[in-house]
């Protein structure tokens, strides 16, 4: 109990800007680089839905020196089921359980954590992990708002932690190949990128507020978010569609394609302008508590005039491009266009209707006779890449370091702000603030609920 109280005391101090474990974690632990034969101990935080999938993927790496030591979720009702699943994948080694992530951070044997909580917990759980000397794999979007995302970057750098964001396209060989093709001038100069998230969603209904289930620590589930009485329609998974905890589909499925769009444009900077419009169509507020739009069109302009478009459609719709894209990307260049659908891509010259290069065409036709760029880069996948980064201790070995993940996450976040204020907004990428719009600036952060406060000084 003494260790537990000390840890809680330290986390409270962290909310005022004092780092967790300032004395508990030495320079030796910060500088530790795991050897190729060292067993990497992981904790999986948030193990419903996507979290279950992440846990499975890492548990399957048991033979490569990876072990899930602890499974943590604020809802205890399915922990035993997840324990059994993990044990079946790692030679019957059963992980322990926790319902409070602070217990995980207090365990010095854990090297890294996998975070698949609701969006509003991503930033604080990552910052606390870095302060406690843990490396982090955090799901997309990397943060719930822009300001806390920058704090994640600062924490990773200050504590020399490896932090990977779950933009898995960054580690798919064929997608890596398509990006290299674009960057090598495969369709000329790319001047516009388009991302699509066409994912039909039906009404999930409406219900009265109730007491939370006995298995759920609701205070901890809310964490940094503003207090609202428990309502099952704002709880598990439905949190995506309420501003207090989620970011809608533009900030749910959308971040993957935002990331690919920015990658293809080769933009390692923020746009200077954003506008977004849409609404909730086909579902009435009397039948559903959804707050985020199910249909949304967003457009971004960069300093050199290049354009990034994004479209979210949550109702009945057609597909786009020759590959029948619903969730994917299209790029437009001065000499042609390119489509990406999952791990398949095709490129077209001018007005041609047949592709001249693509993932299924081998070396195909090439620019200036050079075919080398059409060889798909080697990839161990996003999870393997994270483990390699842990072993090297070098964030530069990651395919999606927190800085990359943050830059891509900013796009859907500021699109949602433009939608909510109903104006075209100008953005200063250096300060990560809007120009001349206090209402929009206020949405770049939030009021945090004690003691779950993202510190100004990480």
Token pair 């945090």 is found at: 448
Q: Residue 336 is part of which domain span?
A: 172-378+411-442
Sheet of 273-279: strands edge to edge?
357-358, 344-349, 336-341, 327-333, 190-198, 307-313, 295-301, 273-279, 425-428, 433-434
Q: Which CATH number is 419's domain given?
A: 3.30.360.10
* Whether 151 and 242 share a structural domain: no
Token pair recorded at residue 51 = 């979290």
Determine the Cα–Cα distance for residues 22 and 285; give it in Å rounded to an integer.
48
In a domain, 457, yes or no: no
* Whether 202 and 78 share a structural domain: no
Q: What is the pLDDT of residues 336-359, one digit of tens each?
A: 999 999 999 999 999 999 999 999
* Whether 166 and 176 share a structural domain: no
Q: What's the Cα-to-Cα distance from 305 to each of 190, 267, 301, rounded to whole Å?
A: 11, 12, 6
Q: What's the Cα-to-Cα distance from 333 to each of 189, 305, 308, 337, 338, rounded to whole Å?
A: 5, 14, 13, 6, 8
Split at pLDDT 50, 70, 90, the class of 12 is very low
CB 327 within 8 A of CB 200: no
Question: What is the dihedral angle through the alpha carbons of 265, 392, 98, 18, rounded to the nearest 10 degrees?
Answer: -80
Q: What is the pLDDT of residues 287-309, one digit of tens each?
A: 999 999 999 999 999 999 999 99
In a domain, 448, yes or no: no
Determine the Cα–Cα distance for residues 377 and 356; give it in Å rounded to an integer.
20
In a domain, 209, yes or no: yes
Q: Is the pTM of this model over 0.85?
A: yes
Q: Which CATH number is 65's domain given?
A: 3.40.50.720
Q: Which helix (H) or strand (E) holds 293?
A: none
In a domain, 286, yes or no: yes
Token pair recorded at residue 253 = 């499925």
In a domain, 328, yes or no: yes
* Whether 189 and 331 share a structural domain: yes
Cβ-based burial of 273 (10 A; exposed 0-12, middle 13-18, buried ≥19): middle
- Chain center to CA of 132: 21
Cβ-based burial of 33 (10 A; exposed 0-12, middle 13-18, buried ≥19): exposed
* Whether 177 and 324 share a structural domain: yes
In a domain, 118, yes or no: yes
* Whether 178 and 117 share a structural domain: no
Q: Which residues of 358-367 are buried (b: 16+ CB within 10 A; e: fewer)?
A: bbeeeeeebb
Mean predicted confidence (pLDDT) in 112-132? 98
What is the count of structural domains for the chain? 2
Split at pLDDT 50, 70, 90, the class of 24 is very low
Q: What is the pLDDT of residues 194-226, one digit of tens each?
A: 999 999 999 999 999 999 999 999 999 999 999
* Whether 417 and 285 share a structural domain: yes
* Whether 78 and 205 share a structural domain: no
Determine the Cα–Cα distance for residues 40 and 34; give it in Å rounded to an integer.
8
Token pair recorded at residue 155 = 């924490």
In a domain, 454, yes or no: no
Longest dimension (CA), the chain: 71
* Whether 8 and 61 share a structural domain: yes
* Whether 277 and 415 share a structural domain: yes
Token pair recorded at residue 214 = 């006995």
* Whether 212 and 163 share a structural domain: no
pLDDT at 365 over 60: no
In a domain, 450, yes or no: no
Query: Any bridge partners for residue 198, and if so which?
Result: 313
């Amino acid at each position: 109990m003494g260790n537990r109280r000390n840890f809680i005391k330290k986390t409270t101090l962290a909310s005022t800007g004092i780092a967790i474990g300032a004395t508990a974690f030495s320079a030796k632990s910060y500088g530790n680089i795991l050897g190729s034969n060292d067993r990497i101990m992981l904790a999986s935080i948030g193990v419903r839905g996507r979290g279950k999938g992440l846990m499975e993927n890492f548990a399957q790496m048991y033979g490569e020196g990876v072990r899930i030591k602890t499974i943590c979720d604020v809802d205890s009702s399915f922990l035993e089921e997840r324990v059994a699943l993990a044990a079946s994948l790692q030679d019957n080694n059963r992980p322990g359980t926790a319902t409070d992530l602070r217990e995980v951070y207090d365990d010095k044997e854990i090297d890294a954590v996998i975070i698949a909580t609701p969006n509003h917990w991503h930033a604080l759980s990552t910052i606390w992990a870095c302060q406690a000397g843990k490396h982090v794999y955090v799901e997309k979007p990397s943060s719930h708002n822009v300001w806390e995302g920058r704090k994640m970057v600062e924490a990773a750098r200050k504590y020399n932690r490896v932090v990977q964001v779950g933009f898995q396209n960054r580690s798919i060989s064929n997608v890596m190949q398509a990006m290299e093709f674009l960057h090598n001038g495969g369709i000329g100069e790319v001047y516009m990128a388009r991302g699509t998230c066409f994912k039909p969603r039906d009404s999930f209904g409406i219900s009265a507020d109730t007491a939370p289930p006995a298995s759920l620590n609701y205070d901890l589930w809310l964490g940094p978010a503003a207090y609202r009485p428990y309502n099952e329609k704002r709880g598990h998974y439905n949190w995506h569609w309420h501003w207090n905890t989620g970011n809608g589909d533009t900030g749910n499925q959308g971040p993957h394609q935002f990331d690919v769009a920015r990658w293809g444009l080769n933009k390692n900077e923020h746009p200077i302008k954003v506008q977004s419009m849409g609404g909730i169509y086909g579902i009435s507020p009397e039948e559903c508590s959804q707050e985020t739009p199910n249909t949304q069109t967003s457009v971004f302009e960069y300093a050199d005039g290049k354009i990034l478009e994004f479209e979210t459609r949550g109702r009945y719709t057609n597909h786009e491009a020759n590959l029948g894209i619903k969730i994917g990307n299209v790029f437009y260049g001065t000499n042609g266009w390119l489509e990406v659908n999952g791990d398949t891509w095709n490129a077209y010259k001018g007005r041609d209707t047949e592709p001249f290069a693509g993932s299924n065409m081998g070396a195909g036709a090439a620019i200036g006779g050079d075919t080398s760029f059409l060889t798909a880069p080697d990839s161990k996948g996003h999870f393997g890449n994270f483990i390699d980064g842990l072993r090297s201790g070098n964030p530069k070995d990651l395919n999606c370091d927190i800085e990359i993940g943050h830059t891509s996450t900013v796009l859907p976040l500021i699109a949602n702000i433009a939608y909510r204020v109903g104006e075209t907004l100008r953005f200063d990428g250096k300060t990560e603030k809007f120009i001349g719009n206090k209402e929009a600036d206020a949405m770049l952060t939030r009021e945090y609920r004690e003691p779950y406060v993202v510190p100004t000084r990480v």
